[in-house]
Structure 1
């Protein structure tokens, strides 16, 4: 048995056949010299009485000292009755499983196998995962996410309680889905409660409506007309943010069932004033949305945009307050309850929901025209010496001109 040294290994010349030179310092370690001159390290040992060879690596990438250390580690494993090769394979498989079981990998499967199949709003769930959850937890194995990590994430939303509740709900649902499939044993979202949201009953006064409208005009496209359309239709923020040009036909907006909260199409007649707001909105080349955001997504960044607009108007409000203001305004205008509720697309309950399938389109049109006239009287009041004499006959108008 030769005593291998760094110089001896470096100077070792190839022969006509493959050679193995045993080391007298590390049991089982061999220097393998090929006829081509290539050198490598190997360990020989017995497992269950069977001779076994395990290659350590090539020389000079692995020097003599490192080779001896690696050989000792392998022989220590052999002494426990474990084959080092089997141990490494088990670790490799475990690492692959861990990579396949990260939060990011699980989120991708969750969206594809669950959200897209069962939720109309799956794109919003995917957006929440990509924007709020994966940047924080994406590279972690599922079982490495702790309850304190989730609690800290929720706390960092600060004065955005609704956003915190949405993110927590998506993360909780994803972990429950993963538990059902044996990917993880514990849901770190358990017992964590989303921040409380104070119930809002804010309704803008007529003077506040006027100031908000004027501030929206000053804000310009896209957020200005976006706010004005909300104010004239009573639609939800997301419905108009994702509004497509093809959903506007003549003087009617039809929000398809796939995008509407109730799962049914919602038809919104456009008042003359709403049509006037939409008419100058530019149709951007290759863009299907009326109010597009960047990168082919709906308009976003509402917090920053609204902060600037409320400062300009000197009127604090949330976008959903506009919907409540429209509903309250319709009641002030003596619009019948069943019509006002249908203007907002609220689901009817009881017997009427089962038997009453009348669309109320003309009634909704009259209600929104009445509301638009009220808004117009605030933003463009008639001179005191002008007397109104009757109503103009309605003409059908089209956004396409």
Structure 2
């Protein structure tokens, strides 16, 4: 039998034995996007050729009266015999009612699930914690966000307030490199016992943050079953970190004179005014530090503060506080501005306050000034609800929540009494009329005109 000529076109209308020669001679007819050379030995096997000359083995069959076609592989990678074996295998699957496409999809899904499982088993606490902080940050306050960053800070950087002293790594640093699946109650208890020897208060905060993080991770898609939501909730971990002792630092009545004397001598007028206002308003340190000129209403004696419980709260602008604010430079939008700070506002007044307290022989923190406002108001028998509203404490009684409405004018009466009494005890000479007469006009945008 004569061997067919290499340049003779193949008859694609009927099956023929697929050989290396027939594959080589196979070309796509002009005007078509693809053509098929069917195998006579394995009726379900064909060689497909496209207009660009690409050739591949293809399986074709029917299931549920529907024709399906699956690519086996490139003719350069599969031998003819291997392609026939694969075609026959797929043919058997069809004869048994199994769709190769469904099997392939299921196998692909299983491979993807296995890969995801391997990734989830390898993922570290630090990787998931970074994702947690990024996702949850919009729902946190600035202080909560900074607390999380401090817990995982690597340390080794110069401290801003202590020359020559380096920062230490955050409490959670030792846990960041371990696998999330390995973080269990025993690991947390061992960690808490070790860290609590030097910084129990930091460990108590870290435990609270870690507990919230693990509960979030336990519900995250792809991490379910990998995070133990109760790993940081054991009684032993809480016990080794100890109990928080209530802080009692505050200014006593007889200490007011010396405190004011030293604070008013601070050369930085912004810090001096800030510390005095912090005591006289009872505000939280960041509430006061972040006020803008647009939050101050000199005409109607009001001040708007960002609130920890509510979005914001309005408090009276008492005469001496108004006097202090009116003497401050209008450098930018911030009331307590700073020309050296990146943010443009006062960031770390605690350093100056510690120096003042050391010189005066006092031990009072910035939050202790807020505690002092509450404690000193007891001398005047001011209604508890009034002081709580000024300070931004959440109402604790039903009547306070739903029935007691105090307008700013009423708060101003009581707040003015507190300020007058504190200034009197501190021997601060101050005349309302003189201070009011020195006010400058403030335009609608909050800047002096």
Give the structure-1-normalised TM-score: 0.61
**Partner secondary structure for residue 315 of structure 2:** strand
C-alpha distance in 2, partners of 1:331/1:208?
A: 16
- Is 1:235 the counterpart of 2:277? The answer is no
1:125 paired with 2:144, answer yes
1:290 alignment counterpart: 336
Q: Which residue of 1 aligns with 2:161?
A: none
Q: 1:223 to 1:144 in 2, by over 3 A?
A: farther
1:248 pairs with 2:283: no
1:27 aligns with none
Deviations 1:141-198, CA, capped at 9 Å, x for gaps: 434653233443444326xx2x443333112211221123336333543322244222
The equivalent of 2:328 in structure 1 is: 281
Task: State whether residues 121 and 181 of structure 2, in contact with CA within 8 Å, keep that contact through their aligned partners in structure 1.
Answer: no
> 366, 369, 385: which one pairs with 1:338?
385
Which residue pairs with 1:206 in the alignment?
A: 253
**d(CA) in 2 for partners of 1:107, 1:261:** 25
Partner Cα distance (1:284, 1:223) in 2: 15
Give 1:172's aligned residue.
211
- 1:274 to partner: Cα distance: 0.9
Cα distance in 2 for residues equivalent to 1:228 and 1:261: 21
* Contact 1:125–1:170 (Cα < 8 Å) also in 2: no
Determine if contact 2:293/2:447 at 8 Å carries over to the other structure: no
1:106 corresponds to: 128
- Could you tell me which residue of structure 1 aligns to residue 317 of structure 2? 270
| Alignment correspondent of 1:79 | none
The answer to whether the Cα contact below 8 Å between 2:124 and 2:176 also exists between their aligned partners in 1 is: yes
CA RMSD of the aligned region, Å? 4.0
SS at match of 2:227: coil
Shift of 1:232: 0.6
- Paired residue secondary structure (2:265): helix
Q: Is the 8 A contact 1:211 1:315 kept in 2?
A: no
Gaps of 5+ in 1: 1-49, 51-88
Aligned residue runs from structure 1 range 2-401, under 5 A: 97=120, 101-116=123-138, 119-121=139-141, 123-135=142-154, 136=173, 137-143=175-181, 146-147=187-188, 148-157=190-199, 161=201, 163-181=202-220, 182=223, 184-186=226-228, 188-191=231-234, 192-193=237-238, 194-219=241-266, 220-250=268-298, 251-256=301-306, 260-285=307-332, 288=334, 290=336, 294-296=341-343, 300-301=347-348, 304-356=351-403, 358-380=405-427, 400-401=447-448
CA contact (8 A) 2:218 2:227 kept: yes
Contact 1:204 1:325 in 2 (8 A): yes
Distance in 2 (CA, whole Å) between partners of 1:307 and 1:164 is 25
Q: 1:304 to 1:371 in 2, by over 3 A?
A: same
SS in 2 for 1:218: coil
Match of 1:46 in 2: none
1:364 is displaced (CA, Å) by: 1.6
What's the offset of the Cα at 1:233? 0.3
Deviations 1:245-285 (A, max 9, x none): 433233322124xxx22225321212121122223334444
Residue by residue, what CA displacement relative to the aligned partner does 1:23-56 show, whole Å, maximum 9, x if unpaired? xxxxxxxxxxxxxxxxxxxxxxxxxxx9xxxxxx
Return closer, same or farther for 1:266/1:93 CA change in 2, 3 Å cut-off.
Answer: closer
- Could you say what secondary structure the match of 1:267 adopts? strand
Matched-pair contact (CA < 8 Å) for 1:150–1:188: no
**1:198–1:358 distance in 2 versus 1, CA, 3 Å:** same
Distance in 2 of aligned mates of 1:358 and 1:221: 37
1:74-114: CA deviation from partner (whole Å, max 9, x where unpaired): xxxxxxxxxxxxxxx99997886577x33343223323434
Q: Could you report, residue by residue, the CA deviation over 1:317-369 in whole angstroms, capped at 9, with x for unpaired residues?
A: 23333223222332322433332332222333444235436233112212222
The Cα shift of 1:237 comes to 2.2
Cα distance in 1, alignment partners of residues 313 and 279 from structure 2: 17
> What SS is found at the alignment partner of 2:412?
helix
Distance 1:294 1:165 in 2: 31
How many Å apart are 1:311 and its aligned residue? 0.2
